[in-house]
Amino acid sequence: MDAEKDNGQSQAPGAGPLSVVRDGQIHRVRPLDRGALPPIAEARPEAIRAAVERARAAQDAWRTRSFDERARALEAAARAMLERRNEVMALVEREGGKLPVDAMFTEALGPLDAVSGWKRVAKPAMRQRVRLNPLAFPKKKARIELVPRGVIGIIAPWNFPVSGLYRSVIPALMTGNGVVLKPSEHTAESSAWLAKVLAEHLPEGLIEVVQGGGAVGAALLESGIDACVFTGSCATGAKVRVRCAELGIPSSVEMGGNDAAIVLADCDLDRTVAGLTHWALQNAGQSCGAIEIAYVDARIADRLVRRLGDAWAKLRVGQGDFAEVEVNPLTTERQLAIVEAHVADALAKGAKLVTGGRRVEPGLFYAPTLLDHCTERMDVVREETFGPVLAIVRVDGAADAIRRTNEGRYGLGASIWTSDLARAERLAERLDVGVVTVNNHSMTGAIPDLPWSGVRATGFGIANSALSLTTFCRPKTLLLDANDAPEPFWMPFDASTFELGDLLADAQLMRVGRAWKLPLLLAKRARRIKQFFR
């Protein structure tokens, strides 16, 4: 994700303040109109350590509850979130600029589905029986259990301040952990709302919130947590990963994406135009899985660009009743400045502005922007813009598009738009990214069953699916042996021990000429060991 979402205090040249810290409080602006938001008090290091200890004390009893009991408590909290959805929609509109219709679908609708999905994913993973070969391991049975790590520290971004936590907070709690959450300072109240509703249905202290910027995130790492989930910039993500390794705690670090859509000549143009529009502009493009580049087969590029340009020019942004606006504002002044800088860079290097390319008052709105004839020399192609901008790169077919996608700095997701699904499957195998979607994009991020991960600068952290659970749990093996006799390979060693091993090696190679000796050797070894220990 972009450099700001790590909750740091850095500032782009020419940008307005990301946040102003004064007298231990963070002062922020409202994206819809640049009005002042209530300041947020920064947590001090001693308060952070106390929050971790409260979570640890509550977790000690929580982990002993049955999985189903923990799931029922989370289901009750999710139902309460749905009942109170208007509260959170108002918060994310005020803090993040997310308009009600967008907030309804991306923040308010999902908690119960998320809890149900995590129950489906996590329950079978928590205890797994392992089938052992009865000949090689007679009278033995084994299982693997996932044991909660303790207290999970979660450093969250601002772009999905509620739903973005479904894939970290919910599985952490469901698997028996406590949680200390550090929201982004830009959406502090929205993320705290989720924690508050959860806390009403959980043991006191099990989920704690510490507010503040980058310094608070750094202090959380030093506070005694047992694992960390971080979503943010490459630079800060690398520091988090290194520090967690030094502290000896696991981390899952996601550092964003610059997703590409590969548009082939045989695509369904109606669906493709609609799909690219949604996944490039939803939440004003402020999503690590947004489509930021479209590699378009040159044979259909003119038609696609014309239709996109016509559609985007009609979208309402920044004026009139906010209930009528279709594209959110940017969330911070700094993010708006990054978008403007990337567009200016593209135009200076030869891109054609099809539509947009300007601020729209009031607030931090930016017109949906379509740029044609883009190249890898431009920031809109090389870097993550994280705004309502789509760069069109004309290519010579699928192979050219795949090569360019794989050469990109990031490797979170990509989509292929085509009417030939069999061909799309073959092409997907050649894409070096974490998530490939055909004739859709990004939606798998909301499905607990499917891993959300990437390569290269995106990092190798995993969200969602059973594969992510090792951040929250450690594996513990249990083997039960019902044998009453010693194992034939146990001490004391003698020539019969070696002969037994040699015979077993031949058996694995399907050389069965000496197989008749096996029961005799086993009986001999049993007698030898029994006599030795009398």
Query: What tens digit of pLDDT does each residue of 233-276 get?
Result: 888 999 999 999 999 999 999 998 999 999 999 999 999 999 99
Residue 7 has pLDDT above 60, yes or no: no
pLDDT at 431 over 80: yes
Token output for 90? 């108002």
% of the chain exceeding 70 in pLDDT: 95
Number of H helices, E strands in the chain: 17, 22
Mean pLDDT confidence for 80-94: 96
Distance from chain centroid for Cα 211: 21
Give the length of the chain. Answer: 534
Q: Tell me, what's the pLDDT at 325?
A: 67
Per-residue pLDDT tens over the stretch 352-389: 999 999 999 889 999 999 999 999 999 999 999 999 99
pLDDT surpasses 50 at 2:
no
For residue 17, pLDDT beyond 50:
no
Domain chopping of the chain, boundaries: 20-255+467-476, 259-450, 486-532
Average confidence score pLDDT of the chain: 93
pLDDT at 12 over 60: no
Phi, psi of 370 (to 5 degrees): -115, 125
Distance, CA of 280 to CA of 289 (rounded, Å): 9
Give me the residues paired with residue 252 across strands: 229
Q: What is the pLDDT of residue 320?
A: 57
pLDDT at residue 241, as a whole number: 96
Kindly give the residue spans of alpha helices, DSSP state H, lying in 385-432.
Answer: 398-406, 421-428
Given a cut of 70, whether residue 231 has pLDDT beyond it is yes
Considering 4, 93, 189, 254, which one is annotated as catalytic?
254
Find the range with the poorest average confidence among 30-39, 48-57, 423-432.
30-39
Angle at 253 between CA 247 and CA 254, to 5 degrees: 170
**Please, which pLDDT band fits residue 285 given cuts at 50, 70 and 90?**
very high
| DSSP letters spanning 93-147 | HHHH---HHHHIIIIIS-HHHHHHHHHHHHHHHHEEEEPPPTTTSTTEEEEEEEE
pLDDT tens, position by position, 500-532: 999 999 999 999 999 999 999 999 999 999 999
Q: Is the pLDDT of residue 22 over 80?
A: no
C-alpha distances out from residue 250 to 124, 216, 220, 253, 453, Å: 22, 19, 14, 10, 16
Q: What residues contact residue 177 under an 8 Å CB cut-off, 6+ apart?
A: 59, 62, 63, 148, 149, 150, 151, 152, 226, 472, 473
Q: What is the three-class DSSP state of 392?
A: strand
Tell me, yes or no, if 473 is annotated catalytic. no
The reply to whether omega before 448 is within 30° of 0 (cis) is no
Whether the Cβ atoms of residue 106 and residue 160 lie closer than 8 Å to each other? yes
* The pLDDT of residue 9: 32
Q: Which residues fall within 8 angstroms of residue 274, CB to CB, at 6 or more apart? A: none
Between CA 202 and CA 275 the distance in angstroms is 40
User: Which pLDDT score is estimated for 321?
Assistant: 58
CATH class of the domain whose range is 20-255+467-476:
alpha beta
Return d(Cα 398, Cα 262) in angstroms, integer.
7
pTM listed for this prediction? 0.93
Residue 374: active-site member: no
Strands 369-372 and 389-395: parallel
283, 105 Cβ separation under 8 angstroms: no
- Among 244, 288, 374, 473, which one carries the catalytic annotation? 288
Q: What is the DSSP letter of 463?
A: B
Confidence of residue 15 (pLDDT cuts 50, 70, 90): very low
Question: What CATH number matches the domain at 259-450, 3.30.450.20, 3.40.50.20, 3.40.309.10, 3.90.226.10?
Answer: 3.40.309.10
**Which residues is 209 bridged to in the sheet?**
181
Fold agreement (20-255+467-476, 259-450)? no
3-state class percentages of the chain: helix first, strand second, coil last, to nearest 5: 45, 20, 35
Rounded to whole angstroms, how far apart are CA atoms 494 and 492?
7
The three-state DSSP-derived secondary structure of 31-80 is CCCCCECCCEECCCHHHHHHHHHHHHHHHHHHCCCCHHHHHHHHHHHHHH
> Using an 8 Å Cβ cutoff, are 228 and 206 in contact?
no
Integer CA distances (angstroms), 200 to 90, 110, 166, 283, in order: 20, 19, 17, 29
pLDDT of 490: 95
Question: For 79-98, what is the mean pLDDT?
Answer: 96
- pLDDT tens per residue, range 114-149: 999 999 999 999 999 999 999 899 999 999 999 999
pLDDT band at 319; cut points 50, 70, 90: low
Q: How confident is the model at residue 14 (pLDDT cuts 50, 70, 90)?
A: very low
pLDDT attached to residue 13? 27
- Which tokens belong to 323? 């209930």
pLDDT in tens, 174-201: 999 999 999 999 999 999 999 999 999 9
